[in-house]
Structure 1
């Protein structure tokens, strides 16, 4: 299936309206997973022509995504990754965990961006950054699309590594997201050290419900995640 390629229109607009010289695109992966970290990539691409086939990582096959990530690693001007662990997600909530992972990525970049493009509707980064949110930015903005692909491939590899010690959960296939195999393993074996224990899916596991962690700080309206909703096992 052919997709409309992303452009530099948002990057150019930010340069024109804010005077920014360095614009970074940010995207996350793992927000809706039940296990594993949430991963954020910050990518600076300049205004060069992007690699052929660049788009939202979710629209690419694993084979194409992996090949494109290898190309992007050397094509982007700069990029960095940041992660928040399941323990941090449980303690802080997803919004703060996203902010922490994004800050870690930005702090690791070899250049200091003047402006940030965030994929989605909500600004989870905030001051002191100049932020523009773009719905479906991972499809329309070159820098965000590049961040999307790099983040997805890296987190998938991390989950495959974690899955080596928890083979019944098939993390190499589901990357910690809900799947029939994942749900069955949770029901029979209980959560691993890599699971997010504050999420509502734990309420559907009577044998393991005593392990649930309670966090008193609710997510802002609109930033709740599918993984925090109840699930019928």
Structure 2
């Protein structure tokens, strides 16, 4: 699809839909065609070291970027899908200059996007702006989870980033949920149903 020279296209992606703990982080990025960034790809296909190298380049060279944090409490209130959609709308709305089109990774569009949008399955590997958003979201979330380890020691957040690994599930059974655990997710809900308090 041809885009006019004046169109401002934002790529949008999230990190952290699957974990049992911590926020979903959504990023929107408008790349500058005059300042290309080599090596952009789906953040999951890049090493942590490569993501950390690309992160400051994206911040420095992008025309606009916005990172939104959707906390566990909102995830539990809305459900993970709706919380992610809300985060995507907020991230696009937070861009200056405003986007004229948003390219969303996945097969669904948020209902209240502030501009026209297109859902692109596998977009984080196809569209550089979505790749850039994917990297900002992943690096931002990983840093938050590493910091969370100090506030809630014993769960291993710095290692598994809140995903339901055997080590995380074992810590959850041993310690019970902390304030960062998503109450609506089955392994956490089952523990709470058994009368465990945090």
Q: Residues 134 and 105 of structure 1: is their aligned pair in 2 closer, same or farther, counting only changes over 3 Å? A: same
Q: TM-score, normalised by structure 1?
A: 0.78
Partner of 1:61: 47
Match of 2:3 among 15, 27, 31: 15
Query: Over residues 136-195 of structure 1, what are the superposed CA-to-partner deviations in whole Å (9 max), with x where a residue is unaligned?
Result: 100010100000001100110011111112221111111111112211110111111001
SS in 2 for 1:27: strand
| RMSD after superposition | 2.1
User: Of 138, 153, 160, which aligns to 1:174?
Assistant: 160
Q: How far did residue 202 of structure 1 move?
A: 2.8
* Partner of residue 126, structure 2: 140
Please say if residues 14 and 20 of structure 1, whose CA atoms lie closer than 8 Å, have aligned partners that are also in contact. no
Q: How does 1:82-231 map to 2 (within 5 A)?
A: 82-205=68-191, 209-210=194-195
Aligned to 2:60: 74
Mark the runs of 5 or more structure 2 residues left unpaired by the alignment: none
Closer/same/farther in 2, CA of residues 14 and 175 from structure 1, 3 Å limit:
farther
TM (norm. structure 2) is 0.91
Say how many residue pairs are matched.
Answer: 197
The separation in 2 between residues aligned to 1:185 and 1:100, in whole angstroms, is: 31
- Structure 1 pair 165–53 and aligned structure 2 pair: CA distance change class (3 A): same
8 Å CA contact 1:28, 1:151 repeated in 2 = yes
